[in-house]
Every structure is written in C-alpha cells, then in structure tokens.
Amino acid sequence: MSVHLITPQEAFLKDAPTPETRSLGASAQQETADPKALSKAISSAKPLSTRHFDAIIDVRSEDEFALDHWPGAVNWPVLNNAERVTVGTLYKQVSAFEAQKKGAAMVAANIARHIEAHVMDLPKSWQPLLYCWRGGKRSGSISGVLSQIGFRVHLLEGGYKAFRQAVVEDIPKLIEPLRFEVIAGPTGCGKTRLLNSLKSLGAQVLDLEDLANHRSSVLGFIPGSPQPSQKHFDTLVWQTLRGLDPSRVIFVESESKKVGNLSIPVELIEKMRSSSCSLVELAMPERVALLMEDYAFLVQDPELFIHKLQALVTMRGRAVIDAWCQDTRQGRIEDVVQDLLTLHYDPTYLSSMKRNFTRLDQARRVNLLHRHSPAMQEAARFLIEELSDAESAKHQ
C-alpha cells in the first residue's frame, strides 16, 4: 500500500515530468496531520503535473466545499455537514474517544458509498489527487482504502489550508508579468459587451464581473444567483490568471476595489490602475436602452427596482429617491434610468476614474455608433489592430 504526497506548488506545475514520489507506508500515513512529517516524507519528490490527475477529490463536508475548493474538484465528503456536528458535539460533551469511534463508523460507511458510487468502473491506471482541510485524517482514511485497492493515489500535503496559502502567494507572481488594457467608460456604454466581442475574436480577456457573478454597481446583483465566497473568487481569479499568456495583452474592464461584496486582489487592482486605457463612448439614448435590456429583470419587477433604489438614499437624498420611485410606479422607468446615469453614475464614475486610473488622460477613444453586436465587433477589431500596431511600432 502506498500514498504519494505532493505539495500544492508542485501540483500547480502544468508541464512537469511524471513524478517519482516516495511511497508513504502505513506508519507514516498515521502522521499525515503533521506538516513536518509530510515535508520530510516528500523531500525527494519531483514536481507533478496536474495533467497526471484523473480526478481531484475534496473529501471535506458540503459546506466546506461550497466555501472554496480546487477548481474542477469533485466533492466526496467522508463526513457530511450533519455528521461533523454530531462528532463535534460528542467531542465537546462526552470525550474524544467516543467522538473518534462514532466518526470512524461514519467515515467507513461514507467511504464504502463513494467506492460503490464512483469507483467500481474505474481502471487500475486511474490516479486521483485527494485533500481535506489539512491533509490529515479524512483524506488519509479514504486514500488508504483507494491505495489498498491498487490505485496510485496522491495526497495533497497540508490539504486545503496549504492550497489556499499557495493560491494567495501565487496571485502576485502571476500578475507581475502581465500587460493589461483597461476598457473604461461610463455605466451603460457597453464595456461588458465589448469584452465579450474581444473574447469572441480571440483576444485575452479577464472578466472580473463574470467571475464575481455581479455587474459591479448598486443594482448589479444577478437575481437567483449569489456571489461566490471571497476565497472562491480569489481561487477563480487565480485559475484565470494561470491561463493567460504574458506575451499578449489582456483586456479587463475598469473596476473599483470591489465587485459587489467581493474584493479584487490588491496587486491586481494596482496593476490595472497603472495600465493603459481605452475609453468607450456611446450616446445617452443608446446607454439607456442598453441598461433596459441588461437589467430587464428590474424593468419587469418595478417593486424590486424601487427596493434597490433605497440603497442610494444616503447619497442622493430621500426626496430624489421618492420621486424616482413614483416615476417607476407610473411606468417612466426610462426617465429614471437616464436620471440615474446623469445624476449618480456618471459623476461618480468620472471622479473615481480620474482619481485612480493614472493613464486615463492618454486613453484611446472608442466611439460606438450603437449598442448592438455589429458595433461591438467593429470596436473589438479596432482595438485589437490598434494594440497590435502599437506593439509592432515599439519593436521597430
């Protein structure tokens, strides 16, 4: 029986050779909760590529998995949410010994169910990577059983806790060599649509609003679809950054420090704010029409729109908000949207952009004729060609 230990940093390497990891015997497996023992056990290990994993398995509870997990991981809880509570209560109210007996029975039953449900049809060549919170008892228990069956099993040293630390440390390193072109412009000018057009034409795009599941404004929530946790947002940003080519420019939308309730990594927002900008311009009637399309769920639910407007009372005053609410109830939502743009969003956005994006005054202008796809595609081609020409001139 053997379980092969690997650090998160080694697992992150995408093009490493097949590993020659040391096997971990039964006695050493009992020490997997001890980081020093783990470090010693893998001291002679070579880097392992993620392409060698046929599955990444998170054996923590459902709630732990939902909070954050390795991208692409599947969840095989060896103790589910309710079982963790049961074991924890026994530990506090009775004894550690009684809690361990009860936990062992639950873990054994759950492992059996996972094997029946997921493993029976797998070939012997199947190689999973497993982790729990700290690379200890939970992942050790199921990895031991899988290795007894005959699979080559990899256990993440330090578990999720080490993975999270590695992600946090890796993000600044990934950002440092990247070159961004910031798509700037007032609310409703089509920045997100332009990003999508750029992506469709093969340009590199970092869409932070998509990763954060939010449109980055007071009214920017997406109904029925909550934002990820801060930790998982960080992980999604990290995953996207890993796939970017530093030799090519990356288009990103101008953002504040937060997208909804989520904070953009400090190193990323600082890099964006010092990057070159392209300023998108669109006529006011088209901006209003675009927002009516993109926020159709608010147009179709006036009371929800009115409820969301209350968040602006402290900034715009009760009298203004009450007037907007009355206009909304009387069907004049387009008028309210235009007022929101001219009185709230535009002044706020312009002030923030001038204060934070140091190269805004040098921005190239992108004049959109209308809000529809053909205009976005034409603007995307223009930007790609402009940046390509600028890059060529730089190397002449």
Q: Do 104 and 153 belong to one domain?
A: yes
Q: Tell me: the pLDDT tens digits for 72-102? A: 999 999 999 999 999 999 999 999 999 999 9
- CA-to-CA distance for 119 and 115, rounded, in angstroms? 5
CATH of residue 229's domain is: 3.40.50.300
Three-state secondary structure readout of 333-383 = HHHHHHHHHHHHHHHHHHHHHHHHCCCHHHCEEEECCCCCHHHHHHHHHHH
Q: Which of 114, 134, 168 is the last residue of a domain?
A: 168
Return the SS3 of 2: coil
Cβ(139)–Cβ(132) under 8 Å?
Answer: yes
What range does the domain containing 331 cover? 176-394
pLDDT band at 396, cuts 50/70/90? low
Q: Do 99 and 247 belong to one domain?
A: no
| Opening angle at CA 360, ends 356 and 362, nearest 5 | 150
Q: For the chain, how many structural domains are there in total?
A: 2
Strands 128-131 and 55-58: parallel
Return the SS3 of 263: strand
pLDDT band at 21, cuts 50/70/90? very low
Active site residues: 132
Is the pLDDT at 24 greater than 50? The verdict is no
Q: Tell me: the pLDDT tens digits for 108-159? A: 999 999 999 999 999 999 999 999 999 688 999 999 999 999 999 999 999 9
Q: Tell me: the pLDDT tens digits for 354-372? A: 999 999 999 999 999 999 9
Q: Which of 140, 168, 196 is the last residue of a domain?
A: 168
Residue from 39, 1, 43 nearest 21 by CA: 43
Strands 23-24 and 3-6: antiparallel
Over residues 29-40, mean pLDDT: 35
CATH of residue 76's domain is: 3.40.250.10
pLDDT band at 36, cuts 50/70/90? very low
Q: Tell me: the pLDDT tens digits for 214-259? A: 998 878 888 888 999 999 999 999 999 999 999 999 999 999 999 9
Q: Do 130 and 189 belong to one domain?
A: no
- Between 45 and 274, where is the model more confident? 274
- CA-to-CA distance for 364 and 366, rounded, in angstroms? 7
Structure-token pair, residue 245: 């080519």
